[in-house]
Amino acid sequence: MQGRLHRPRLNARLAGVLLLGLLLLSGCASTPRLAESTEQSLPRQAWVADVPFHAQREYQCGPASLAMVLNHDGVDVTMETLIPQVFIPGRDGSVQPEMLATVRRHGRIPFVLDDTLDALLTELASGHPVVVMQNLSLPAWPMWHYAVAIGYDLDANELILHSGEEAERIESFRRFDSTWARSERWAFVALQPGQMPSGISEQPALQAIAAFEQTQGAEAALPAWSALVERFPTSGMGHFALGNARHASGDPLGAIESFRTSVAHRDDLGVAWLNLGLTLHANGEEDEARQALQRAAALPGHWQKRATDALERL
Partner 1 sequence: MKTLRRFLSPLLILALVLGSVSVSAAPLPASELISTQTALSAERADADRERIHEVLSRDEVQKQLIAQGVDLAEVEARVAALTDEEAHQMAEQLEQLPAGASVVGALLVVFIVLLVTDILGLTNVFPFTR
* Contact set for partner 1, span 156-185 (CB under 8 A): 166, 171-172, 174-175, 178-179, 183
Site size toward partner 1 (CB under 8 A) is 75
Supply the minimum distance, in Å, between the C-beta of residue 50 and partner 1. Answer: 24
Nearer to partner 1, 38 or 134 (CB): 134
- Taking the C-alpha atoms of residue 249 and residue 261, their distance in angstroms, rounded to an integer, is 19
Alpha-carbon distance of 113 to 135, in angstroms, equals: 18
Site mask for partner 1 (CB under 8 A), range 102-131, x = bound: x-xx--------------------------
Which of these ranges, 33-41, 71-79, 114-122, 244-252, lies near partner 1 under the rule CB under 8 A? 244-252
Instruction: Name the minimum Å distance from CB 74 to partner 1.
Output: 20
Exactly one of 72, 145, 185, 265 binds partner 1 (CB under 8 A); which one? 145
Closest by CA to 255, choosing from 232, 286, 277, is: 277
Phi, psi for residue 122 in degrees, rounded to 5: -60, -40
H-helix or E-strand spanning residue 166: strand 166-172
| CA quadruple 122, 49, 143, 102: dihedral sign | negative
User: Among residues 144, 152, 188, 232, which is the contact residue for partner 1, using CB under 8 A?
Assistant: 144
User: Does 25 engage in binding with partner 1 (CB under 8 A)?
Assistant: yes
Biggest alpha carbon–alpha carbon distance for the chain: 101
Burial class (CB in 10 A: 0-12, 13-18, 19+), 4: exposed
Question: Whose Cβ is closer to partner 1: residue 7's or residue 174's?
Answer: 174
| Closest CB to partner 1 among residues 71, 178 | 178
Of residues 36 through 55, those in contact with partner 1 by CB under 8 A are: none
Only one of the segments 1-9, 37-45, 120-128, 276-284 lies at the binding site for partner 1 (rule: CB under 8 A); that segment is 276-284
Q: For CA atoms 75, 79, 81, 86, give the dihedral sign.
A: positive
**Cβ of residue 2: shortest distance to partner 1, in angstroms?**
26
**Is residue 240 a contact partner of residue 272, using CB atoms and an 8 Å limit?**
yes
